[in-house]
Amino acid sequence: IAGITQAPTSQILAAGRRMTLRCTQDMRHNAMYWYRQDLGLGLRLIHYSNTAGTTGKGEVPDGYSVSRANTDDFPLTLASAVPSQTSVYFCASSDSDRGTDTGELFFGEGSRLTVL
Amino acid sequence: GQNIDQPTEMTATEGAIVQINCTYQTSGFNGLFWYQQHAGEAPTFLSYNVLDGLEEKGRFSSFLSRSKGYSYLLLKELQMKDSASYLCAAMDSNYQLIWGAGTKLIIKP
């Protein structure tokens, strides 16, 4: 089934640990994104990639890093997790650069991360 | 600054009509999106407006007034499965999406 797959679905992590959230899409979309979603706030962009080999910072990039070695994969790494990074993380893709003009974002099912 | 405002929560009755409003302030404008998000699930695309007016898609319609910085999502013939959060997002001049916090819609029998 075409779409975006995220892993893990949920994770409890001790503060200071390193964590990588995985994201894979099979729609051959050029653009990919990582968002975090917190109660009472809109989705906030962490990092994005317009195409394989390029990445950019979003609204809340501090404490996170990404890589885009190929079209399909876009992992998000927390180098040293802190409690404020407790959130639901969504990976998304689109077939346009930096958001969509008439198209849409396709979201993964999310990764719920708790940092203690 | 850039900002999206939408009500936090609304309640409606099965079979009725509900209108969810959204106002936006962005640096430039390249369109207004509505997404639906069921609890614990991913957001899914509902509609996109870039020109003024009403776009109808089955039971759902979306309206845009660029001069007023205003949009609404209209849901007709409400069904229990329409209980979800509805996210409004405006695209600025840099094609960055600015998201509202979402409106939780509760449908009662």
Instruction: Read off the pLDDT band of A102 (50, 70, 90).
Output: low
| pLDDT computed for residue A27 by the predictor | 92
What is the CA B49 to chain-centroid distance, rounded?
11
| pLDDT computed for residue A63 by the predictor | 97
Omega of the bond leading into A8 within 30 degrees of 0 (cis): yes
Share of chain A above pLDDT 90, in %: 86
Is B43's CB within 8 Å of A101's CB? no
How far is residue B6's CA from residue B19's CA, in Å, rounded to a whole number? 11
How far is residue B6's CA from residue A38's CA, in Å, rounded to a whole number? 16
| pLDDT computed for residue A80 by the predictor | 97
3-class secondary structure, B43? coil
| pLDDT computed for residue B13 by the predictor | 97
CB < 8 Å to A42, chain B: 4, 87, 89, 98-102
For residues A93 and A32, the answer to whether their CB atoms sit within 8 Å is yes
Give me the mean pLDDT over the B29-42 stretch. Answer: 95
A42-74 confidence digits (pLDDT tens):
899 999 998 999 999 999 999 999 999 999 999
Query: Quick one: which of A78, A71, A72 has its CA closest to A111?
Result: A78
User: Choosing among A105, A109, A111, which should be mutated to test the B contact, i.e. which has the most B CBs within 10 A?
Assistant: A105
Kindly give, in sequence order, each residue whose CB lies less than 8 Å from that of residue B38, ignoring residues fewer than 6 positions away: B83, B84, B85
| pLDDT computed for residue B1 by the predictor | 79
| pLDDT computed for residue B2 by the predictor | 87
Kindly give, in sequence order, each residue whose CB lies less than 8 Å from that of residue A107, ignoring residues fewer than 6 positions away: A4, A90, A91, A92, B42, B43, B44
Is B42's CB within 8 Å of A97's CB? no
Over 70: is that where the pLDDT of A100 sits? no
Give strand pairing partners of B34. Answer: B47, B88
Burial letters for A80-115: b for 16+ Cβ neighbours within 10 Å, e otherwise? Answer: ebeeebbbbbbbbbbebebbbeeebbbbbbbbbbeb
Over 90: is that where the pLDDT of A76 sits? yes
A:28-57 residues touching chain B, CB 8 A cutoff: 40-45
How many alpha carbons lie under 13 Å from residue B24 in its C-beta half-sphere?
A: 31
Give me the mean pLDDT over the B87-103 stretch. Answer: 93
| pLDDT computed for residue B70 by the predictor | 97
Residue B88: count other Cβ atoms within 10 Å of its Cβ.
27
Over 90: is that where the pLDDT of B94 sits? no
User: Choosing among B26, B45, B92, B94, which should be mutated to test the A contact, i.e. which has the most A CBs within 10 A?
Assistant: B45
| pLDDT computed for residue B95 by the predictor | 83
| pLDDT computed for residue A112 by the predictor | 97
Give me the mean pLDDT over the A93-105 stretch. Answer: 68
| pLDDT computed for residue A101 by the predictor | 53
